Amino acid sequence: MDCIILKDNYDLNLLINDYKILINTTEFINRRNGPKKLGWLSIALHSCNGMDEKESNRLQYIDNKIFKPTKNLKKCNYFKKILKDLNTDIYLVRILKLTPYFIIAPHNDPEFNDRRKMIRCHIPLITNNKVYFWIGEPEQKKFNLKKGKLYYTRVEKKHWVKNESNEDRIHLVIDIKPTLKMMEIIGLNNLSIFKNYYNSNIDLNHIIKFEKIKSYENKKSKLCTIIDCWSQESNDKFLQLMKKYINIGKYRDIYIWNNYYDDKEILIENLKKIKSPIFNIYLYNSPYKLLKKSNGRLITKEIIKYLYKFNN
């Protein structure tokens, strides 16, 4: 899964309108030495410390850095809405221009090696069917990204781009922390990644999905608790714990790994009865047996490790 559509209903007219506002007041920065208006150029919209000079415009490791909107983003209402609606941490965001007949040479971006920490997304604004994106080595896959869609692209693999047309290719390029839903879509929650935690005879294509139990629509917490359920007795203890949290007002998100699969409907029914204004509940019902009981908590923590401060 090297190139996947995450969302496909952006308003192309609004995208282009913001782009026109931007280029009427801002000059592109050439990402390489050469003619100022030729090649591979960029405008920073969100960057390290909100700076928009050449160095802040470059991809970098995100650890111990603060990313903020640049003065350019403040002009663009639709771009701001897109970033807000992604509902996750935003890192480097740029408008990238690839001029006619120009090639971005094969390279890989190791900053994206840990895809649970950061992924790259593209929204093409101006493009055509003569612009190609290759990903992979030794087997290369060829992609042609369409306007107005949000794509995930796997850029820690070797990739390169060629504009074989006579017009600029303009993309809104967004580096973000993936949400839980995005991780499911791009394959980070496939059971094949965690096969060493299981007994044999499992479906390696199975996706570990945590479904939100709808009680209250609360905002995501900064804290979470991971709980595993193995029997009716453990389920009963869990429900008692929920009541305790409500009584003492501990705000958090609760992730439940339920290995008591045969009685999952009973657990779901009981969870839906909990009307809590202080936490969200996410449930995964595991159909396969783990090698150790603690493995459910370990897998859950691996999946959501960058989304929270932990309190197990």
pLDDT at 95: 97
Residues 197 and 121 in one domain: no
> Tell me: the pLDDT tens digits for 167-192?
999 999 999 999 999 999 999 999 99
Beta sheet of 141-143, edge-to-edge order: 103-107, 159-163, 131-135, 141-143
Q: What percent of the chain has pLDDT over 90?
A: 66
Other CB atoms closer than 10 Å to residue 203's CB: what's the count?
11
For the chain, give the mean pLDDT: 89
Domain stop point among 181, 202, 228: 181
Rg (CA), the chain: 22
Residues 14 and 153 in one domain: yes
pLDDT at 274: 77
Q: Is 0.85 surpassed by the pTM of this model?
A: yes
Could you tell me the residue range of the domain that residue 116 belongs to? 3-181
Residues 137 and 46 in one domain: yes
Burial class (CB in 10 A: 0-12, 13-18, 19+), 23: middle
Domain stop point among 181, 200, 225: 181
pLDDT at 125 over 50: yes
pLDDT at 121 over 80: yes
pLDDT at 215: 66
> Tell me: the pLDDT tens digits for 189-243?
999 999 999 988 899 999 999 999 876 677 778 888 898 887 777 777 777 777 7
> Tell me: the pLDDT tens digits for 41-65?
999 999 999 987 776 778 889 999 9
pLDDT at 118 over 50: yes
Number of domains the chain is built from: 2
